[in-house]
Amino acid sequence: MIIRSKNAGADSFLAKPFKPSDLKGRLVQLSLARNASVTPEAAAGEAAAGGEPAEGAEPGVSAGQTGAQEDENGLSVDLTSRVKSIEGLPSFPATHAEILKLANSEDATSDDIAEKLQLDSGLLATIFKLVNSSGYGFRKKVDSLKLAVTLLGLEEIANLVMAAQVFDKLGNYEDGSGMDATEFWRHSIGVGFAARAISKKLQTEAESAFLAGMLHDVGKIVLDRFFVDYYKEVLAIVEDGTTLIVDAEKEVLGVTHADIGGVLATEWKFANNYLNRILYHHRPGEAARYKRLVCLIHIADGITRELGFGSGGDSVVPEIQHAALDQFHMADRGYQMLKDSVEEELEGADSFLAALNS
């Protein structure tokens, strides 16, 4: 409907539900734009359900308010409040943060983490399934938490806890907009494995690479689940096989899954290094903080898509930005070595996903 309206000459949209102040502000901006003989987009940016944001406007600013207040992460406060108001949006326990706190404590023991995890026997069972998947390649079965902590470390166990919780909350749902959830999670887990392989090869950010890779597209699941009608339009656009899903999201929604994912990461109190990788994984050159981490996920995502492992919702393979490759002083030969490492690592991703599903 939005696309048909634009073709008919409409140049601005507001997505329902919107606050009266949004409508009033938009009308004032349109009036000023007309009087100044400039386009509404240049004056105020597209609306939340409209097309491209204004030049210089931060993607994610809704209702065309380029002057909207932003939080310390550069996210629109208005967009944040809208996402918070989604009915049925899951919350996440603080288990991951608590385990990381234990990991950074000199006095922490495997018994301490066992006490945390045993609050949920189902979660503990899932952790054992993940540890014993072929993704880790242990020859003998790991059947005690103490052994798992000894083999993997507290940080990796914390990451597995968060992976299990995210999949439990968002992995299974009905009546989405039509995105293939199975292939989506295969892609997400694949990027996690790819990021881990790259981090090993580059000897950097090994502790958080997997989880960041798995979570990089979490905004897509929320859009598919809670903005069904809009996301159907997005998926219809990318069916032509020539349009990136992130570009289709901008056209239909005015925001991208990365913007939504950034808001969710803030709402769920993810650490800032994860927030930045989610928010900037399509535009790593713009990341002001944790740029090395962001570039790593950008490369992992690109390689996973190039290898055709799972689906991020579209069939276009985006070009990896030079800014990301330059971050690691990488030429063609180095990139090919990373790609070979990723391809080998992906052999265990399907087993890991099966363990999450069981």
Domain spans of the chain?
A: 2-68, 108-357
The pLDDT value given to residue 21 = 67
Contacts of residue 335, defined as CB under 8 A and 6 or more positions apart, other chains included, come to 320, 325
**Interaxial angle between packed helices 218-226 and 154-170, expressed in degrees from 0 to 180 and rounded to the nearest 10:** 20
Question: If one looks up domain 108-357 in CATH, what number appears?
Answer: 1.10.3210.10
C-alpha to C-alpha distance for 317 and 100, rounded to whole angstroms:
35
Buried b (16+ CB within 10 A) or exposed e, 324-339: bbebbebeeeebeebb
Instruction: Give the span between the Cα atoms of 194 and 307, in whole angstroms.
Output: 11
Tens of pLDDT, residue by residue, the chain (358 residues)? 766 776 676 766 777 777 776 676 667 656 554 544 333 233 333 333 333 333 333 333 333 333 455 555 555 556 666 777 777 788 887 788 888 888 778 777 777 777 777 767 888 889 999 999 988 889 899 988 888 888 888 888 888 999 998 998 888 877 788 899 999 999 999 999 999 999 999 998 888 899 999 999 999 998 998 888 889 999 999 999 999 999 999 888 888 999 999 888 888 888 888 999 999 999 999 998 899 999 999 999 999 999 999 999 999 999 999 999 999 998 889 999 999 999 999 999 999 999 998 8
Identify whether the C-beta of residue 336 lies closer than 8 Å to the C-beta of residue 106.
no
> Token pair for residue 93?
């326990």
pTM for this model (two decimals): 0.76
SS3 239: coil
State how far the Cα of 12 lies from the Cα of 65, in Å rounded to an integer: 12
